[in-house]
Amino acid sequence: MFRAKSFKKWTSLFMTLFMILSFLTPFDVKAAEKTVDIQILATSDTHGRFMPYDYAQNVEDKSGSLTQVYTAVKELRKANPNTILVDAGDSIQDNSANIFLKDDIHPMIEAMNEMGYDTWTYGNHEFNYGVPTLEKVSSQFKGVPLCGNVYKNDGTRLAKPYTIVEKAGVKVGIIGMVSPNITRWDAENLKGYKVTNPVDETKKAVAELKDKVDVMIAVLHMSEGSEYSEPGSGAKEIAEACPELTAIVAAHEHKAVPGTKYNGVLLVENLNKAQSLAAINIKLTEENGKYKVANKETDVTSKLLYVKDSKTKAINYEADKDLSASLQPYNKKAIDDANVVIGELKGGNLVPDDEVKGIPTSQIQETAMINLINEVQLYYSKADVSAAAAFDTRANMKAGPIKKCDTSLIYKYDNTLYLLEVTGKQLKDYMEWSAKYYNTYKPGDLTVSFNPDIRGYNYDMFSGVKYEIDISKEPGERIVNLRKMDNTPIKDTDVLKLAVNNYRANSHLTAKTGNEIYKDGNLPKVLDKDMVNGAAVRDLIGQYIKEVKGGVITPELNNNWKIVGNNWDAAKRAEAVKLINDGKIELPVSADGRTPNVAPITEAQVEEAKVTKKADIISFNDYHGIVEENGKDIGIAKFVGAIKAYKKENPNTVVVSAGDMYQGTAISNLNYGAPINDMVKLLEVPVSAVGNHEFDWGTDRIAKWAKDAGFDFLASNIYDKATGKPVEWAKPYKIIDVNGLKIGFIGLATPETAFKTKPTNVENLEFKKPEEAAKEWTAKLKSGELPEGKADVVIALTHLGSEQDSKTKEITGEAADLAKADTGLDAIISGHTHMTVAGTVNNIPIVQGYKQGRGYGKLQIAYNTKTNKASIVPSYVDLSKDVKTLPVDADAKAIVDKYVKASAPLL
């Protein structure tokens, strides 16, 4: 009773106080408003990427997949449960998606069901297999399929034009349309169906929906702008015609549009292959019992989330484990399918072995590989002329069985086929543009070389015409004797059909801005694009081998083109070829490493090579006990495999260590560095610097490591305080003879060791100044006073730190200070700071190979025996970027297996 009266009393008091305050203080209407944030997540053009795997190439590809997108979706749903998930089509074509069409459920649909998609708008590629197949697949979808502008014979729509999804009391109308150009691409499959203008159909849907929902969006399989001048084929046309829409999810162009506005309507578009996820946030405010977007400018926002960072290449979203497990049976089926034999190559490889090491045959002469690609393009396009490039200098198909995935060996990208109309002049201009790939031949040149500013994939070779490329002439004047295959000259006014891939068509031949080929703006005409249902050219190659050639192909040459104007001396040319192939002359590469063979080998270089001795020094540092492969740490088996592969191609190679080899992982630490020592022995390392972490287990271990693996630790600046002399367990220097070239190594430890390891382990040692020790021992090595004689080249093998500015390339740190001192050194190998360094200080090359076996430093030495001068080129080789494809050395793998097994009970 008392409590009830007390409650009433306090309630009365509170209400009185509230009423008084309401008179004194203006009431904030907005504070009382109710708002709801609706999150629209959208994908499009996923093209069969249910798992992070490229089945055409038979390799893992983590740049995008529904399993990875699902990880992002889960995070965003957790942050906002009021989430709607939609897809804008082109889901069940490409990446072997066709092999699942007859299954009970397609893996793309199973993935979309498990991810909880609300709607799926049909894309143009959904019609590639015929409407009955599409209806079968779409019947498996648990959400709502949308396609409001395709009608059956009876006047009913193939799929709903729209649906309504309610979240937190907000009703969202979702409209779905497909490009009207499906009648251009799939006319045969659409016989008996009527395809209408999406703009008209969207207007109808808006009229029907507007009184039933709070907000409307359109999920369209249509490009941002129109195609083929077809009315209603652009998403922005719908935005202009239907301002009632709040947002549009566009598709089809495979381009990233994080958010742009037309007529106040937000438009987004995703990258293809599930590489991105569009996120639209719509804030709705309740007003008079109904929700609405109060301000389209501020209350509707968007962004794209990328599965893989385009700059750092980091994977932002890993695959969802549960979804991956559900899709694993489909993944296995697709991989098995990729390995199915579809034919046989008889009579030799498509590309013969390179005559000159480092100059790809496929880019300097006609080959059966380019002929096959062009033959396929000509067959399926019915063109007069075809052009194709060798995308990779190693591209080839070997004689023997051909697996389905092997077509990616000669055509690595998923380009589609385009058909253009060109005049004879336009064709010649295109061919001249392509021929700029070659450097101009000069008297004395003995090899054909490539323009360092042009990538190999931008050099096309042509079938369907005959021609010569005169490389003695300047670019723009090189295509001579251009004629048809019957030897009829091609006139400027001739009209021809040209087959090319979509990249060449869009990026170069028909580009309206920045066109390097047709600067006058007179562009070829696009007759057809994404031909044969948008099939990738590499898939067409497999189809051609299987269906047209009956499963058997042979290397065939048309003898339709060749390089001329290179009038070199045959005997001197043969001498140059031998010197290059023997590794005595090295072909230069572009500064960014992307274009090989960027300068010719000349007669003068051949003469110089006769008096030049060469050697390569590979240095690794701060390996820190890495035994097993883990992410970017490639592990012993692949590290040894990669270096052995290099040594096989470059026999005059010495592998050295810059210290800190052993300590750092549980397996290495438990075994006191034994697995790393076994690796060092396998690599035949003759010398190592002493790192600060070499002292972690005392100096007795240092001596034992050297003895067990048969190498020497070098340390010219570590002295025994008791004797005042260099320590006995390390040598100050060592001379190594590499094919007659004497290379002297001086060991230098960082003075920081005195305080960067356990103090008691170094209390009896003195670490002298590196520059003083370097100067003393360099003088001795170069004077010839030492028992081993005179060194031709002296290199400091150090555990001194260094770092290099990524922009200015300036090198700083202990190693740079050493280079600035007057020591007489020819090169410095650095370590300690875990950096990638390759450059010069005071004209002295310095390298550091990062850390943990992820790469290595390289010094390429060329010593002229006439002048007694050395040229040394520093570089860094990144192994981690190729971790998936690096060779595994069997002996090194045995080391890994041995210590993993031995350590298992202790871990």
Q: What CATH number should be reported for the domain whose range is 611-902?
A: 3.60.21.10
What DSSP state is assigned to residue 440?
Answer: P
Task: State residue 188's pLDDT score.
Answer: 83
Q: Identify the pLDDT of residue 719.
A: 97
Q: Which CATH class is domain 40-335?
A: alpha beta
Q: Residues for the chain: how many in total?
A: 907
The average pLDDT across 509-519 equals 90
Q: How far is CA 55 from the centre of its chain?
A: 16
Look over the chain and give the mean of its residue pLDDT values, rounded to a whole number: 94
Q: How far apart are CA 727 and CA 732, in angstroms?
A: 9
pLDDT given at position 29? 38
Q: Are 148 and 161 in contact (CB under 8 A)?
A: yes
Whole-number pLDDT of residue 623: 98
Quick one: how far is CA 887 from the chain centroid?
19
Q: What's phi and psi for 256, nearest 5 deg?
A: -85, 120
As a whole number of angstroms, the distance between CA 595 and CA 4 comes to 88
Local confidence band at 312 (pLDDT 50, 70, 90 cut-offs): confident
SS (H, E, C) 481-530: EEEECCCCECCCCCEEEEEEEHHHHHHHHCCCCCCCCCCCCCCCEEEECC
pLDDT, one tens digit per residue, over 653-708 is 999 999 999 999 999 999 999 999 999 999 999 999 999 999 999 999 999 999 99
Q: Which two tokens stand for residue 178?
A: 């497909």
**For 146-165, what is the mean pLDDT?**
98
Strand order in the sheet with 869-878: 712-714, 687-689, 653-657, 612-620, 855-864, 869-878
- Which pLDDT score, from 0 to 100, does residue 101 have? 95
Among 56-60, 384-388, 653-657, 716-720, the minimum mean pLDDT is found in 56-60
The residue type at 182 = I
pLDDT digits (tens, 9 = 90+) for 576-585: 999 999 888 9
Query: What gap in Å lies between CA 70 and CA 75, rounded to an integer?
Result: 9
Q: What is the pLDDT of residues 335-355, one digit of tens each?
A: 999 999 999 999 999 999 999
Distance in angstroms (rounded) separating the CA atoms of residues 37 and 436:
56
Q: What number of other Cβ atoms are within 10 A of residue 156's Cβ? A: 8
* Phi–psi pair at 32, nearest 5 degrees: -90, -5
The pLDDT-based confidence of 228 (bands split at 50, 70, 90) is confident
pLDDT digits (tens, 9 = 90+) for 469-479: 999 999 999 99
Sign of CA pseudo-dihedral 831, 833, 836, 837: negative
Residue 20: which pLDDT band, with cuts at 50, 70 and 90? Answer: very low
Residue 71 tokens read as: 């990880």
Percent of the chain beyond pLDDT 70? 96
Residue 187 is predicted with a pLDDT of: 82
> CA 733, CA 296: separation in Å to the nearest integer?
74
Q: Three-class SS of residue 720?
A: strand
What is the model's pLDDT at position 758?
Answer: 86
- Is the pLDDT at 15 greater than 50, yes or no? no
Q: Which two tokens stand for residue 547?
A: 């269906």
User: How far is C-alpha 164 from the geometric centre of its chain's CA atoms?
Assistant: 40
CA angle (397 as vertex; 395, 400 as ends), nearest 5: 160
Residue with the two structure tokens 């590489």: 275
Answer whether residue 1 shows pLDDT above 90: no
User: What is the per-residue pLDDT for 25?
Assistant: 39
Q: Is residue 13 pLDDT above 50, yes or no?
A: no
| CATH code, 350-578 | 3.90.780.10
When pLDDT is cut at 50, 70 and 90, the band that residue 884 belongs to is confident
Q: Got the DSSP string for 754-803?
A: GTSS-HHHHTTEEE--HHHHHHHHHHHHHHT-STT---SEEEEEE----E
Q: What is the pLDDT of residue 223?
A: 95
Q: Which long-range contacts (CB under 8 A, 24 or more apart) does 309-318 make?
A: 315/62, 315/68, 316/72, 317/68, 317/69, 317/71, 317/72, 318/62, 318/68, 318/71
- DSSP H or E stretch at residue 131: helix 131-138
What was the pLDDT predicted at 12? 44
User: Which residues, in sequence order, are bridge partners of residue 23?
Assistant: none
Q: Are 689 and 658 in contact (CB under 8 A)?
A: yes
Cα distance between residue 637 and residue 629, in whole Å: 8
Question: How much is the average pLDDT of 413-421?
Answer: 92
**What integer pLDDT is reported at residue 583 of this predicted model?**
83
Question: Same CATH topology for 40-335 and 611-902?
Answer: yes
Task: Look at strands 59-60 and 53-54 and give their pairing.
Answer: antiparallel
Residue-level pLDDT at 547? 97
Give one word for 314, left, alpha or beta, with left for phi > 0 and alpha for psi -120 to 50.
beta
pLDDT at 589: 87
Helix axes 635-649, 890-903, angle to 10 degrees: 160
Residues 6+ away with beta carbon under 8 Å from 634: 626, 642, 853, 854, 879, 880, 883, 886
Which range in 411-425, 593-607, 844-858 is most confidently predicted, on average pLDDT?
Answer: 844-858
Residue 26: per-residue pLDDT:
39
Return d(Cα 759, Cα 761) in angstroms, integer: 5
Q: Tell me: pLDDT of 7 over 50.
A: no
Q: Tell me phi and psi for residue 41, to 5 degrees.
A: -105, 135
The span from the CA of 619 to the CA of 621, in Å, is 7
Three-state SS annotation for 731-753: ECEEEEEECCEEEEEEEECCHHH
CA-based end-to-end distance of the chain: 68
Give Cα separations from 57 to 31, 538, 549 (angstroms). Answer: 57, 10, 22
pTM value?
Answer: 0.63
Write down the domain spans for the chain: 40-335, 350-578, 611-902
Q: Phi, psi (5° rounding) for residue 195?
A: -110, 120
pLDDT grade, residue 883 (50/70/90)? confident
What pLDDT band is residue 297 in, cutting at 50, 70 and 90? very high
Neighbours of 394 (CB within 10 A): 11
Instruction: Band the pLDDT of 27: cuts 50, 70, 90.
Output: very low
Q: Which of 43-52, 61-70, 320-329, 575-584 has the lowest mean pLDDT?
A: 575-584
d(CA 436, CA 459): 8
User: Taking a C-beta distance cutoff of 8 angstroms, is the pair 59, 53 a contact?
Assistant: yes
Locate the DSSP E strands across 331-435: 341-345, 385-389, 400-403, 417-423
Give residue-wise pLDDT tens across range 790-806. 999 999 999 999 999 99
- CA–CA gap between residue 501 and residue 553 (Å, rounded): 23
* Top mean-pLDDT range of 256-265, 386-395, 584-593: 256-265
Share of the chain above pLDDT 90, in %: 86
With a CB cutoff of 8 Å and minimum separation 6, the contacts of 545 are 342, 343, 402, 407, 551, 553
Across the range 154-183, mean pLDDT stands at 97
Six-digit token pair at 806? 């990524």
Q: Is the pLDDT of residue 5 over 50?
A: no
pLDDT above 90: residue 593? no
In 592-740, which ranges are E strands? 612-620, 653-657, 687-689, 712-714, 718-720, 725-726, 733-738
Task: Give 456-478 as a DSSP string.
Answer: GGG-EEEESEEEEEETTSPTTS-
In this predicted structure, the answer to whether residue 4 has a pLDDT above a threshold of 70 is: no
CB-based contacts of 607: which residues, under 8 Å, 6+ apart? none
Look at 206-215, 366-375, 584-593 and tell me which has the smallest mean pLDDT.
Answer: 584-593
pLDDT band at 315 (very low <50, low <70, confident <90, very high): very high
In this prediction, residue 56 carries a pLDDT of 85
Q: In terms of Cα–Cα distance, which of 541, 187, 184, 556 is closest to 378?
A: 541
Distance CA(228)–CA(375), nearest Å, equals 27
